[in-house]
């Protein structure tokens, strides 16, 4: 069953499984499939995460690579930058809390809602999600308002890959 909670600013969709709330999360950087931190998304000890498909932000945002560790950040500056491509996951409460810890909420990133245009729906995705290419949905995203003054002037990207032609080597958490 789908339950829709709405406030005057946001409408976030939650799907209910037996006594477990599920949340949609949009990942755009090192947590995507094929990226260095993806194993954290599949580690069941962190909680449950189910890949639903791919999407792009409806609004433009600056997606930048910053710090001496070449971390990827989505600056919470709607209307600037590019439409950002990423992946949609359905996560349980345990995974959401883990991601909050992993993303150092609220000091490094903040969890906010973002409007997305669905691009591809995984054929194995939960049919109750009722996602279809071209549809608009909302999900949580980890963006930041706590960044250095020069970050908005850094090069912006629409699709992050740690091995991209930007040439900036991502430094794993354990190597920092």
Which residues are part of the catalytic machinery?
103
Where b means 16+ CB within 10 Å and e means fewer, 122-151 reads eeebeeebebeeeeebbbbbbbbeebeeeb
Q: Computed from CA positions of residues 52, 55, 58, 64, in that sequence, does the dihedral angle turn out positive or negative? A: positive
Q: Computed from CA positions of residues 155, 146, 37, 92, in that sequence, does the dihedral angle turn out positive or negative? A: negative
By DSSP bridging, strand 63-66 and strand 71-74 are antiparallel
Q: Answer whether 164's CB lies under 8 Å from 137's CB.
A: no
């Amino acid at each position: 069953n789908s339950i829709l909670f709405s406030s005057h600013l946001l409408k976030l969709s939650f799907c209910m499984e037996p006594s477990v709330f599920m949340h949609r999360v949009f990942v755009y950087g090192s947590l995507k499939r094929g990226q260095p931190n993806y194993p954290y998304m599949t580690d069941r000890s962190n909680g449950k995460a189910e890949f639903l498909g791919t999407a792009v932000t409806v609004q433009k945002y600056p997606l930048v690579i910053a710090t001496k560790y070449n971390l990827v950040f989505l600056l919470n500056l709607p209307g600037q930058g590019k439409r950002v491509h990423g992946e949609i996951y359905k996560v349980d409460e345990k995974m959401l809390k883990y991601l909050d810890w992993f993303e150092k909420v609220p000091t490094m990133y903040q969890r906010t809602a973002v409007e997305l245009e669905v691009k591809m729906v995984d054929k194995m995705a939960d049919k109750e999600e009722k996602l279809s290419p071209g549809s608009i949905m909302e999900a949580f995203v980890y963006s930041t308002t706590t960044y250095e003054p020069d970050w908005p002037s850094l090069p912006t990207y629409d699709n992050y890959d740690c091995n991209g032609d930007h040439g900036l080597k991502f430094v794993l958490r354990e190597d920092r």
